[in-house]
Structure 1
Amino acid sequence: MTLPDRYDFRAAEPRLAQFWRDADTYAFNAEGSAPIYTIDTPPPTVSGQLHTGSCYSYIQADVIARFHRMLGERVFYPMGFDDNGLPTERYVEKTIGRKATEMPLPEFLAQCHTLIEQTEERFEALWRRLSLSIDWRQRYSTISPQAQRTSQWSFIELYKGGKVYSHQAPTLWCPECQTAIAQAETYDRPLSTHFSTLAFKLENGETLPIATTRPELLPACVAIFVHPRDERYASLIGTNAIMESATFSSRERIEVPILGDEAADPDKGSGAVMCCTFGDSTDVFWWRTHQLPLLSAIGRDGRMTELAGPLAGLSVPKARQRMLELLAESNQLLRQESIEHAVNVHERCDTPVEYQHTRQWFIRVLDQKERLIEAGRKIRWTPEHMQARYEHWVENLQWDWCISRQRFLGVPIPAWTCRACGQMLLATKEQLPIDPRITEPGRPCSCGSTEFEPQRDVLDTWATSSCSPLLIGHWFDDPERFARHFPASLRPQGHDIIRTWAFYSIVKALYHTGDIPWREVLVSGHALSRTRTKISKSRSVDQENQPWQLIERESADAMRYWSTSFKPGLDTAFNLELFANGRRLVTKLWNASRFVARHIQALSPEEIANAPEGLLPTDRWLLARLAHTIEYATSELTRNDYASARQEVERFFWSDLCDNYLELVKARLYNDDGASTQAARWTLYQALLATLKLLAPYLPFITEEIYQGLFQATDGASSLHLTRWPQAPAWWHDARAEEEGMALLEILRQVRRYKAEQGLSVGAEFEGLTIRASTMLAPILQCALIDLKSATRAREPRVAPSEELSDLSFDITIVR
C-alpha cells in the first residue's frame, strides 16, 4: 500500500484509459440478471470539431451512467454519431472547399464518407480520453446500413399507418442550403432593417399607406388586409388597391382586393398590410383562408424570379435596396424608419428563411398535440421546468413535421412513383436499406407498368436520429433485445433540442410502440464563452481552451470537475478557476491518501471486515457523517442532481475527514496504544475508500489510481468503477454521535479562534485546557480526550463535569 510522492496526471490518465479499454471495464453484460439501465445518448453531429461545450454536457451524463453501474445495474451505454444530413454536408463542403452541386454525386458522397470516418475517430479518441464510460462495442452511425434500415422502415410503417403524407404546399425553405426545413430548425434572430410605408392608390385616387419590411415582395402582392372593425378602412373592404409597378415587376400595375381579416393588426404600421406569397406564416394563412392567387417573386436559390421584372436575378437584400430606390424615384415611398425586428433564420447557416410552394413529405403531429403533451407528462424531466418548455413547443406548433430534404447525404426515401398510373410503390422490408435513385423496385406496379420515377429527396437527419431509442434496441430486427432496452431509462440532451430531438423521438416512439421512449430526460445547459454566447462547433472559445489543450494542461479530471459544478439545465460560463479547484481537489486526494496509506497498510482483511470494539466518539462521529453523506449523495444522484451530490461529498472530504478528523486522530495514529489506534485506522480505511467511490463518477482517473495503489488488493475488484456504490451499515447512522462530534468540533473551533486572536499558529502548544461540561457530555469528552489533546496541542487537557450545565453544553478555559 504505497503511492508515489507526486501524482502525474499526464502519465496516469492515458495509462488508465488504456487499462479500462484493454479490460472492457464498461462493457454491457447482456447475460446478467441485474436490472438494465439503458441510456439513449446523444449522437454528436459530425459537423466540425468537438468543443468544451460538448464535453460539458456529455460528462454530466457519464456521471449518472457511472453511478448506476456502481449501484449494480447493468448499464447499456452506447454512443452514436449523427453523420447524415445537412450539417455533415455543409461541414464537408466547407472542409473540401467545394459545393455538392459542383461535383458528381458519387464523388461528393465518397468525400463525405472519408471525412466522416476521420472525424468520428477523433470524436471517439476525445471521449475515451475524458473517460466517458461508453461501451464502444455498441457504437453506431446514423448513415450506417442498420440506421438506414431503421429509418426507412419507420417511414414505411408511418406511411402505411396514414401518419406520413406528401403535400404540395408553402414550406419553410432555406435559400442558402436550398432545401425545405422544419419549424424546429429555425429561430428568431434580431436584425436591423427599414419599416417602409408605401403609397398604394384607392379606386377614387386617394392614397392608401401600407407599411412593410419586405418591399421586394411587392411583385407577389395578391391582397391588402385590414381589420374588419377598423373604422378607417372598413368601408374599403371589397374595393381594390393599385400600385404602378412597371419599374420593378413584370406586372405593369398591381391591382389587388382589399379584404377584411381579424389577423390584421390595426396598431401596426398604418393598420393596412399587404399579403404577398409568401412573406411569413400570416401570408400563408391568408392565402389558404381566402383562396388567393399564388405568385412567386423569390426562387429556391434566394434570387428574384422573372416576376420581379428588372429586379430578376438579384439577391433578396440587393432587391430590397433597389426596390426602395425605385419606389422613391416614382414617389411611391412615403416614409421610412429604422427598426430592429425578429427574423426567422435557419439554425444551420443563419440565413433568413423563405416560404416556397413545393411538394414535401410530412409526419402528422398537429392532430396529436394532446397525446404528445400527455406523453411528456409521463417522463421525469430534470430539471422539472424543462417539461413546460416541451409542452410550450407542442402547444405552439403551426406545421406538421416536414421530413424531406432536397440534399444529397442522407437516408433516401424508400419509394417510387409509377409513371403510368401515379401510384406510390414502397420498398419491402427485405430490400432495406435501399436507394431508389439507384435501384429499381424489382417488381411491377399493380397496373402492370415497370416504369417508375424514384423519390429523389432524402430524409431529414432528425427523421433518423429521432429513431435512436429504436436503433439502439434493434427495433427493426431483434424483438427480444428491443424489449430489454425500450423504453430506455435515460435520455440526456441539451435544452436547445427539446423541440427537435426530444419531441421527434417522442413522436416516433408513440407512433411505432404506443409508449414513451424513455423514463427520464436529463437536460443539460450550454457552456458559454467569455462573451456569454453558446460554445458550439462554429462558435467556440479560444484555441488554447479547446478540449485537447485543456486536458493536457489541466487534466481530464479537472475538466470533469468543471463540467459537474452546476445544477442540471444551467448555462455555465467557461471558467478556468473551476478547473483549478478541480486540480486542488485531485492534489488533496492524493496527499491525504498518501498520509492514510502509512496507517492502514498493516490492516489485515479480517480486521477490515470487522469493526473494532474500541471506537471512540471521534470515530463514531465521522462514520455518522459519512453515512449521512452517502445517503444524501445517493438521493441527489438518483434525482440526477450530480452537482448537489458532489458538493456534499467534497464538504465531507475537505472538512470532516481532512480538516477535522485527521487532526483529531493524529496522536492515536502515531502513538500506537492498541485498540484506539486500531479504531482510527479502521475508520480511516472505511472513510477514504467510501470517499473514493463517491467521487469515482466525477474524477475517474485519480480515484482509480489511488484505489489500485491502496485498496484493490483488499477490496478485491479489478477496477474501482466496478465496485459497489458505498452503503453505510445501519449502526453508522447515529444522530447522537453526530451531536457529540459537533461538540468536539466546537471545542476545537474555539481553541483555534483563541490561537488566531493571540497570534499563535494552529500547531502552537499551550499549557492547559479545562473543559467544564455537562454530566451528559463529560464522559464523551473524557473518552475523546486523546483526540482533543492531539488537535488542540494542549499539554494537560482535562474534563470537569458540571451539574450546572445541561444537555451537551460546555465552556473552556485555556492556560498558556
Structure 2
Amino acid sequence: MLPNRYDFREAEPRLARFWELNNVYGYDPAGLGQHFTIDTPPLTVSGQLHIGHCYSYTQADAIARYRRMRGGHVYYPMGFDDNGLATERFVEKTIKHKATEIGRDAFINACLELTQQTEGRFETLWRRLSLSVDWRYRYSSISHEARRVSQWSFIQLYQQGLTYTQFAPTLWCPECQTAIAQAEVNDASLPTRFSTIAFRLPGGGILPIATTRPELLPACVAIFVHPDDPRYRHLIGKTARIDSGAFSGSPELAVPILADELADPSRGSGAVMCCTFGDSTDVRWWHTHHLPLRAAIGRDGHMTGLAGSYAGLTVQQARRRILTYLEETGQIISEETIEHDVGTHERCGTPIEYLHTRQWFIRVLDQKERLLEAGRKIRWHPEHMRIRYEHWVEHLQWDWCISRQRYFGIPFPAWICRACGETMLASLEQLPVDPQTTQPLVACACGSTDFEPEPDVMDTWATSSCTPMIIGRWIDDPAWFAQHFPASLRPQAHDIIRTWAFYTIVKSLYHTNDIPWREVMISGHGLSADRRKLSKSKEHNEVGPMEIMEKESADALRYWATTGRTGADSPLSPENIATGRRLVTKLWNASRFAESRLERFTNGARPAALLPTDRWLLSRLARTIAGATAELDRYEYAAARAEIDRFFWSDLCDNYLELAKARLYSEAGAAHYAAQWTLYQALLAVLKLLAPFLPYITEEIYQGLFRQWDGASSIHLASWPSEQPEWIDTEAEAIGETLLGLLRQVRRYKAERGQSVGAELASLRISGHLQPAQRASLEMAMVDLKSATRAKQIVLEEGAEDGGSQMLKDNELLIEV
C-alpha cells in the first residue's frame, strides 16, 4: 500500500540498495538476443563533479535504461580517466607541491592515492543519481588492463609504421612543461601591444616590421615579403639589421630578406619577421627555406642565453624590457593595443610556444580521407555534429603528438640501444611494463644489452582512445571483443569531438580497420545559471549535485538534465528542477488515487464495453507510446519526455480522471471495470515511459502498486510499453476533443462566476447538428460528462453550429457544438 506521502530522502537510498542487492542493472554476457554496448566517457579525475556532469551522464543513462526495457542486454561499464596531465595538475594543487619538487616515485604514489579516493566519491555520486551502471565492470585508465592495452596499441602502431619519433617544432606548454597536441590548444583573444619596429636597410632606408612578439627578436632568422609586392620586390636577397646589444649576444642582429607567397601584403607592413618559432607559419618557412634554428625561449618559459642580458627572464618580462630598449634607442615607429588571437593550453590557459623537441607522433595527416569516410559510416545524433568532426579532420595541421614530459602516465614500452640508437620494444608478455625499472628480454640486434629507457609517458588521450578496446578485452578475449566491438553507442560532449571521438576513430581504424561504434550521441553542456561552462578543476559558485539531490531529489535533477534537446547546452534551471519535483508529487498522488480505485481489480482482457472516453484515452496513449519510442530511437530524449509529460498531465490527470471519476467510484459493473482497465493501462504505461527519466519514483510506485499485476521484479526490468496500433481510434479522438471542448467551456463559465470546478450545474444543454454516430457516442459518454461538469441534467438537442455558449437562466448553460 502506498503511504500518504512520498519521502524521497528515505526512498531514494533505499531503492538504490534494492537495485544493488538484486543486481537489477547487471549485464548478462550469455543473454540471448541483442547486446547493447555503451562506450561510456571515463571521467577525468581532475577535481569535483558538478551539475554539468549530471546533465550529460543522465542523458546517456536514460538511453541505457530505455534499451534495457526494450529487451536489450545492456553492457554499461563506467571508467575513470585517472592518468595524465589533468590528474597531475589536480594532485599538485591538492598536495600543494609540484611533481618535480617531490620526485617521480613519490609523486606517482600521491597520484594513485588521491585518484582512488576521488574515484570513490565519483561512484558514490553516480549511484545517488542512479546511473544504471554495472559497477562490476568499473575500470580506470591507469589500471593494469588499461596500461596493457595502451602499450600494446603503441607497439602495433610502431610495427605498422604509423608512429614515429623525431626532433621537430612542437606545441609546448611552458607552465606544464610538456608537449601538447593540436586538439589541446584553445584560441583566446587577449589585449596585446602591436609594435612596428624599424629594421635598417643597406643605404640607410627603413623596413617596418609589425609584431606582437618582440621577445622573439633574438630568434629572428629572416624577414619575408611577398614576391609580387612592389614595395619590397627590390629588397629580396638583401640584409636587414637592428641594434640588439641588450637582448642578444652581439650588438647587431642581421637577417636576410626572403620571398614567400605566404607573406600577406595586407597584414601589418607586409613584411614579416620569421623567428624559430612564433607560429606554424614560422615552422613552415624554417623547414621550406632551410633556415637556422635559434631557440630564444626554454622549456620553462624563460629566455635562454640567446637573449643576452635578458636570459632567465620570463616571456612577459622580456617583452617589456625589449620594447623599452627599442623605444629608448629610437627603433619603434608606432604602437597600438589590439585584441590578438593567442593559442592557449586548454588545461591551464597558458599561451603555448613552439619549441624544437623530441616527441612521439601518430600519423594522421596522410589519412584524412580515410578518417572522413569512417566518420560518415557512424550515425551521429544530432546529425550536424558530424560536420564538427569533418571540419576538425580537414583542418588538421599536425600529426598527433602522443608523448608528454610528465610523470603520471603510461610509459612508452620502449628503450633506446645506447650502442646503435635502435628502438627496442617490449614483448606482449612483459606488458604492462615500466622501462625505467625493467630491461628488454633480449639483446639488441647489434648485440648490445645497454639500453636507455624511453623517458616520456603517453598522453592520456592515447589511452582514452582505446576505451572500446579496453571494455572489449581486445588482447585477451577474442570472443568478448567480437561481441562488443564495434560498440553500439558512444555518448559524449560536443567539445571533445576533436579529441576523444577523433582519436578513438583513429585507433580503431588502425587496429581493426573498422569504426569503433555504430552511433554517437552528442550532449551539450550543463551550464551555470549565468550560462558559463563549469569545470572540475576551476572554482565556481554553483550548488553541488549532491546538495541539489538532498534538497530536491535525484529525480528532479534528472528531470532538468533531460529537458534540453540532444546536443544543446542548457543552464541550470531551478524552475525545471521544481517542475520535476511537481511531476514526482503528481505521479504519487495520481497513483494513490488509482490504488484506491483499483481495489479488487483483476487485469483481464480488454473490456468489450469501453466508453468513448476510454477509447479516446487509449488512442492518445497509443500515439504517445509510438511517439516517445520513435523519439528515443532517434536519441531525442527531451522530445520523448515532452510527449509523455503532455499525456500524463493533460490527457490522463486533467481530463480523463475527471471524466471517469464517477465510474471509478462506483462499486461494480461493466462501465466501472472499463474505467479501471483503462486507468491501469494508462498509468502503468506512463510509469514505464518515465522510468528512464525518473527511476526512483517510478520504481516506488511500481513496487507498491503495479508489481502485483505486471510481475517484473523491478520496473527497470519490465517490458517497455508495446505499441498498440489497434488502440488508435480517430472517431474516439474526435469525440474526445468534443468532450474536452465542452468541459473547457463549462470550466470557463464557472470561473467567470467565481465558482469552483466542483460546483454543481443545474442543467447543461448541448445543441448542434450531430451525426447519428456522434450523438450515439455523446450519449454513451454522458455519465463521464456529468461527472466532470457536475451537471445534474444534460440534454442533447438539434440546433445551430456556431460553437458558442450562453447562460439560459441561473446555473443553466447552453453550448452549441
TM-score by length of 2: 0.97
1:427 maps onto 2:416 in alignment: no
Root mean square deviation, CA, Å: 1.2
2:652 equivalent among 649, 657, 660? 657
1:619 equivalent among 603, 614, 621? 614
Question: 2:247 aligns to what?
Answer: 248
Question: 1:787 aligns to what?
Answer: 784
CA apart distance, 1:814:
5.4
The percent of aligned pairs where both chains have the same amino acid is 64
CA contact (8 A) 1:772 1:812 kept: no
Question: 1:50 aligns to what?
Answer: 49
CA contact (8 A) 2:297 2:303 kept: yes
CA apart distance, 1:363:
0.4
Distance 1:485 1:102 in 2: 44
Distance 1:813 1:265 in 2: 79
Q: Deviations over 1:154-187 (max 9, x none)?
A: 0000010110011110000000110100000011
Distance 1:811 1:348 in 2: 66
| Further displaced range: 560-569 or 523-532 | 523-532
CA apart distance, 1:387:
0.3
2:613 counterpart SS class: helix
CA apart distance, 1:600:
1.0
Question: 1:568 aligns to what?
Answer: 566
1:93 counterpart SS class: helix
Question: 2:107 aligns to what?
Answer: 108
Distance 2:722 2:155 in 1: 50
CA contact (8 A) 1:785 1:798 kept: no
**TM alignment of 1:85-164, pairs within 5 A:** 85-164=84-163
2:629 equivalent among 606, 611, 634? 634
Q: Deviations over 1:535-591 (max 9, x none)?
A: 111345425x11111111111001100100010111111111111111011111111
Change (3 A) 1:539 1:568: farther
Change (3 A) 1:541 1:580: farther
**TM alignment of 1:49-88, pairs within 5 A:** 49-88=48-87
TM-score by length of 1: 0.98
Question: 1:550 aligns to what?
Answer: 548
Question: 2:752 aligns to what?
Answer: 757
CA contact (8 A) 1:78 1:135 kept: yes
> Can you give the 5+ residue segments of structure 1 that lack an aligned partner in the other structure?
none
1:643 maps onto 2:638 in alignment: yes
**TM alignment of 1:293-442, pairs within 5 A:** 293-442=292-441
1:734 maps onto 2:729 in alignment: yes
Letter in 2 for 1:628: R
CA apart distance, 1:424:
1.3
Distance 1:317 1:383 in 2: 44
2:529 counterpart SS class: coil
Letter in 2 for 1:473: G
Distance 1:716 1:801 in 2: 50
Q: Deviations over 1:89-134 (max 9, x none)?
A: 1111110001110113111111111101100000000000000000
CA apart distance, 1:670:
1.6
Letter in 1 for 2:610: L
Letter in 2 for 1:792: T
Q: Deviations over 1:585-627 (max 9, x none)?
A: 11111111111110113112xxx13111221000000000000
Letter in 1 for 2:566: P
1:509 maps onto 2:508 in alignment: yes
CA contact (8 A) 1:612 1:679 kept: yes
1:600 maps onto 2:598 in alignment: yes
Letter in 2 for 1:777: Q
Q: Deviations over 1:219-264 (max 9, x none)?
A: 0000001111111111111111111111111133111111111111
1:591 equivalent among 567, 589, 592? 589
Distance 2:529 2:721 in 1: 39
Distance 2:215 2:530 in 1: 35
Distance 1:540 1:739 in 2: 56
**TM alignment of 1:649-798, pairs within 5 A:** 649-773=644-768, 774-775=770-771, 776-798=773-795
Letter in 1 for 2:510: Y
Letter in 2 for 1:469: P
Letter in 2 for 1:117: Q
CA contact (8 A) 1:25 1:722 kept: yes
Letter in 1 for 2:336: E
CA contact (8 A) 1:770 1:812 kept: no
CA apart distance, 1:759:
3.0
Distance 1:130 1:725 in 2: 22
Distance 2:506 2:604 in 1: 52
CA apart distance, 1:799:
2.0
Letter in 1 for 2:626: E
1:535 maps onto 2:534 in alignment: yes
Letter in 2 for 1:82: D
CA apart distance, 1:741:
1.1
CA contact (8 A) 2:90 2:537 kept: no
1:280 maps onto 2:279 in alignment: yes
CA apart distance, 1:149:
0.5
CA contact (8 A) 1:403 1:463 kept: yes
> Can you give the 5+ residue segments of structure 2 that lack an aligned partner in the other structure?
812-817
CA contact (8 A) 2:622 2:723 kept: yes
Q: Deviations over 1:658-717 (max 9, x none)?
A: 000000011111233511011101111111000000000000001000101001121111
1:777 counterpart SS class: helix
Letter in 2 for 1:486: F
Letter in 2 for 1:727: S
Question: 2:814 aligns to what?
Answer: none
Distance 2:445 2:332 in 1: 60
Distance 1:601 1:651 in 2: 27
Distance 1:230 1:319 in 2: 33
Q: Deviations over 1:177-234 (max 9, x none)?
A: 1010000001101111100011100111111110000000000000001111111111
Distance 2:33 2:804 in 1: 54
Distance 1:144 1:251 in 2: 54
Question: 2:815 aligns to what?
Answer: none
Question: 1:444 aligns to what?
Answer: 443
Q: Deviations over 1:329-365 (max 9, x none)?
A: 1111111100111110000000000011011100000
Distance 1:676 1:814 in 2: 32
Distance 2:661 2:703 in 1: 25
Distance 2:755 2:531 in 1: 46
Distance 1:541 1:793 in 2: 55
CA contact (8 A) 1:187 1:344 kept: yes
| Further displaced range: 631-640 or 594-603 | 594-603
CA apart distance, 1:810:
7.0
CA contact (8 A) 2:171 2:353 kept: yes
CA contact (8 A) 1:747 1:812 kept: no
CA apart distance, 1:811:
6.8
CA contact (8 A) 1:77 1:135 kept: yes
1:222 counterpart SS class: strand
Distance 1:116 1:539 in 2: 17
Distance 2:42 2:64 in 1: 16
CA contact (8 A) 2:416 2:422 kept: yes
CA apart distance, 1:798:
2.0
1:474 maps onto 2:473 in alignment: yes
1:755 counterpart SS class: helix
2:490 counterpart SS class: strand
Distance 1:22 1:764 in 2: 51
2:253 counterpart SS class: strand
Aligned residues: 807
2:390 counterpart SS class: helix
CA contact (8 A) 1:771 1:813 kept: no
| Further displaced range: 666-675 or 149-158 | 666-675
Distance 1:258 1:700 in 2: 70
